[in-house]
């Protein structure tokens, strides 16, 4: 075995031993005996992307919009996904949340916009302190605002089975209830890309 290959194998085996995840689920002891199977390379342990049918159970509704995302918007996507997982909710909830944020703020964590502000709406979801969503500091925190949105979504009976725009509108109570639907495909693509990253 050449030196470079040996170092690579030892490095992967060391990762497997240190993390305990490459050889099996967390908490499973790694068999280091002579009969143990070789460690699986890290690249081969990538999780599959979420199924499109789970992300968009009702198919793609009508005309879809799409915008390019910068680093900040992508970070907000990841923050929404992280908060969704912490709330114990699935990929579909992340799709609803991201599509809602795409409509409300284009995934930008907006502060007060002065004359252009819709009342006192702020943050990724344009939540209003005066409507009980939280303080300005809270609703401009991506994790807090996502958790607040998801708390509202959980209270919507049958939200998983209804069209995204109906679920989002029930939480948001927007003056433009049908506008959420146009972002469903981009939101699903973003969840597929970042759910396991």
Residue by residue, pLDDT tens for the chain (197 residues) are: 444 443 333 343 333 333 333 333 333 344 444 444 444 444 444 567 777 778 888 888 789 999 999 999 999 999 999 999 999 999 999 999 999 999 999 999 976 555 545 556 789 998 888 888 889 889 899 999 999 999 999 999 999 999 999 999 999 988 888 899 999 999 999 999 999 98
CATH assignment, 52-194 = 1.10.530
Q: Encode burial over 114-132: b for 16+ CB neighbours within 10 A, e otherwise.
A: eeeeeeebbbbbbbbbeee
55/197 Cα distance (integer angstroms): 16
The conformational region for residue 2 under phi > 0 = left, psi -120 to 50 = alpha, else beta, is beta
Using the 8-state DSSP alphabet, how is residue 66 labeled?
Answer: -
Q: Give me the residue spans of the domains in the chain.
A: 3-45, 52-194
């Amino acid at each position: 075995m050449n030196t470079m290959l040996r170092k690579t194998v030892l490095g992967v085996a060391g990762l497997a031993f240190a993390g305990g995840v490459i050889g099996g689920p967390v908490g499973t002891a790694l068999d280091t005996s002579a009969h143990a199977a070789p460690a699986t390379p890290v690249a081969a342990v990538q999780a599959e992307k979420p199924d499109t049918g789970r992300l968009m159970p009702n198919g793609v509704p009508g005309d879809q919009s799409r915008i390019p995302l910068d680093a900040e918007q992508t970070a907000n996507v990841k923050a929404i996904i992280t908060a969704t997982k912490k709330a114990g909710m699935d990929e579909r909830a992340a799709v609803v949340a991201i599509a809602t944020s795409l409509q409300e703020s284009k995934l930008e964590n907006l502060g007060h916009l002065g004359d252009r502000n819709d009342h006192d709406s702020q943050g990724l979801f344009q939540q209003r302190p005066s409507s009980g969503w939280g303080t300005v500091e809270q609703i401009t925190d991506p994790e807090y605002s996502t958790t607040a949105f998801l708390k509202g979504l959980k209270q919507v009976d049958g939200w998983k089975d209804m069209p995204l725009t109906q679920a989002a509108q029930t939480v948001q109570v927007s003056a433009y209830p049908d506008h959420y639907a146009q972002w469903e495909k981009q939101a699903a693509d973003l969840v597929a890309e970042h759910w396991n990253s």
